[in-house]
């Protein structure tokens, strides 16, 4: 874990459903101004880990905190410092893009005068102004993703979780989102990012945790993780093979 002050801490997280371990002894920390990628195939435990951090489910064991607030013991304080966006967007179809942001800003108790300014700021940053009057059910996949990220940012949280935000997007939309995530990182936010596209993670993330069957097999900067392998994907497959080998 890094020695710098951290905004996100996962400390030996475990999550079991029945007799099945979905997350097993997962630990990492994310300081301000860093993109940490939790990378692995579908079913590796990425979304479950993020849901624990977001206070949407309790860990079976272990602890986690957002900006110093325990996600189980202080859920409201932790959630107030977090923006959470998933690839499925989950927008209310009958609300306009602006109404989405107004609604979620109100849920976070952002004062009206401040909220209006925040909506304009994220609208400019994500090129949403021309979408503000349109219902979300009429938006394209890429447009919905941008609104979902704006919704996660409207209360200006120090921590942002992006769970597969580029899933289903075309090349241009994916590039736009990656560039914007870098800007958020440079503004000092701690960002957790998940994808099952290892090439995308290699391009974007400052550090990566390679997750397989609920466990982090390796963690570090992409070029260091890759080592002598030709790509991060090749190195991940090597680690998975080692993990599956009988002891």
Which pTM value belongs to this model? 0.91
Q: The domain 1-81+157-247 belongs to what CATH superfamily?
A: P-loop containing nucleotide triphosphate hydrolases (3.40.50.300)
- For residue 34, the Cα-to-chain-centroid distance in whole angstroms is 12
d(CA 59, CA 72): 9
Q: Say if residues 239 and 40 touch (Cβ distance below 8 Å).
A: no
d(CA 220, CA 36): 9
Share of the chain above pLDDT 90, in %: 71
Tokens of 208: 């990566």
> In the chain, how long is the greatest CA-to-CA distance?
61
Entry field: residues in the chain: 247
pLDDT digits 0-9 by tens, 19-35: 899 999 999 999 999 99
Q: What is the pLDDT of residue 2?
A: 44
Residue 24 pairs with which residues in a beta bridge?
14
pLDDT digits 0-9 by tens, 129-162: 999 999 999 999 889 988 999 999 999 999 999 9
The residue ranges of every structural domain in the chain are 1-81+157-247, 92-156
Return the closest-CA partner of residue 161 out of 73, 23, 52, 2: 52
Mention every residue, 6+ apart, whose C-beta is less than 8 A from residue 247: none
Cβ count near 19 (within 10 Å): 5
């Amino acid at each position: 874990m890094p020695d710098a002050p951290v905004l996100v801490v996962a400390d030996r997280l475990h999550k079991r459903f029945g007799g099945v371990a979905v997350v097993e002894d997962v630990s990492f920390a994310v300081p301000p101004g860093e993109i940490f990628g939790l990378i692995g195939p579908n079913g590796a435990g990425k979304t479950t880990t993020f849901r624990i951090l977001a206070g949407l489910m309790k860990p079976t064991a272990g602890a986690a905190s957002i900006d110093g607030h325990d996600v189980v013991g202080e859920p409201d304080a932790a959630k107030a410092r977090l923006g959470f966006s998933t690839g499925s967007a989950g927008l209310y179809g009958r609300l306009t893009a602006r109404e989405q942001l107004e609604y979620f800003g109100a849920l976070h108790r952002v004062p009206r005068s401040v909220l209006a300014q925040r909506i304009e700021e994220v609208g400019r940053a994500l090129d949403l102004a021309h979408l503000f009057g349109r219902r979300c059910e009429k938006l394209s996949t890429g447009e919905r993703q941008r609104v979902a990220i704006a919704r996660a940012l409207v209360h200006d949280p120090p921590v942002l979780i992006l769970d597969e935000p580029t899933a289903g997007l075309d090349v241009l939309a994916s590039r736009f989102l990656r560039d914007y995530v870098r800007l958020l990182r440079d503004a000092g936010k701690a960002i957790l990012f998940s994808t099952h596209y290892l090439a995308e993670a290699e391009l974007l993330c400052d550090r990566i945790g390679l997750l397989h069957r609920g466990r982090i097999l390796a963690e570090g900067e992409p070029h260091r993780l890759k080592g002598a392998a030709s790509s991060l994907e090749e190195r991940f497959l090597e680690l998975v093979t080692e993990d599956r080998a009988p002891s």
